[in-house]
Amino acid sequence: MLKNMQESSKEWNISFAGCGFLMAYYCGVYSCLFERAPFLLKGVKKICGASSGALMGAILACQMSPAKSCENLLEMSREARKGTLGAVHPSFDLLKIVRNFLNHDLPEDAHLLASGRLFVSLTRVSDGTNVLVSEFDSKEDLIQALICSCFYPLYCGVIPPRYHGIRYVDGALSDNMPFSGLRNTITISPFSGESDISPYGSPFYFHDIYYNNVSIHINFINAHRVVIAFFPPDPEVLAEMCQNGYKDAFLFLKENGE
């Protein structure tokens, strides 16, 4: 598959599912692809994502440092773990922290690097329709689209943010893996399931469901991962998740002839 991609003129895409603090898995995947398959990152036509998947998509589109991305995520998790209520404490503003990191670390030409290449999944509040945004007027315009895609109702606040005058919430609520149905899309998810790069699933799963285009095995491990998505564990657990992402991406490359 990958050799065919490398030699073919056909286009391919990458799609990241929204997953909250499980984004640590993506940091590992990105590190592996960055080191071992740079042609894949440079040649990808569409980089798609919802919520934290959109954040990783922006990081990939701008070719940011994998190590820095992991460092930022660990810092966010440390902030979320402070206090008795952690991430759900009223004083904890996750999106403010995300915005600060994006303002500080995204290059000034991020909107140029992302336009036409990064597809951010949004859910329009007025009718629940999915909207994919792929053209950005400025760095701040790109950041605002990402913030809207990450806004999970109640968890992130009560009043949804606006993008170009329209209120949106988390893109995962309407399409959690854009373009996943296309044969030339590499799908990536931290939940065990049928995605191209995902954790090895336990043979003892009860059922397989599709949550807004993301394949997820119904088992106890994935149930625990859902909790981690909202309530980050110790940094050591996130670091292990990052390592697992690297290993799974490496296995994908190996199985596909890279």
Catalytic residues: 51, 170
Contacts of 14 (CB under 8 A, 6+ apart): 40, 44, 46, 47, 48, 57, 60, 185, 186, 188
- Distance CA(36)–CA(197), nearest Å, equals 15
In one letter, which amino acid is 241? Answer: M
Contacts of 116 (CB under 8 A, 6+ apart): 134, 135
The tokens of 251 are what? 């296995």
List the one residue out of 67, 24, 86, 15 whose CA is nearest residue 242. 24
Alpha-carbon distance 37 to 6, whole Å?
10
* Phi then psi dihedrals of residue 28, to 5 deg: -70, -45
Residue type for position 192? S
The residues, ordered by sequence, that sit 6+ positions from 23 with a Cβ below 8 Å of its Cβ are 52, 53, 55, 56, 73, 190
From first CA to last CA, the distance across the chain in angstroms is 9
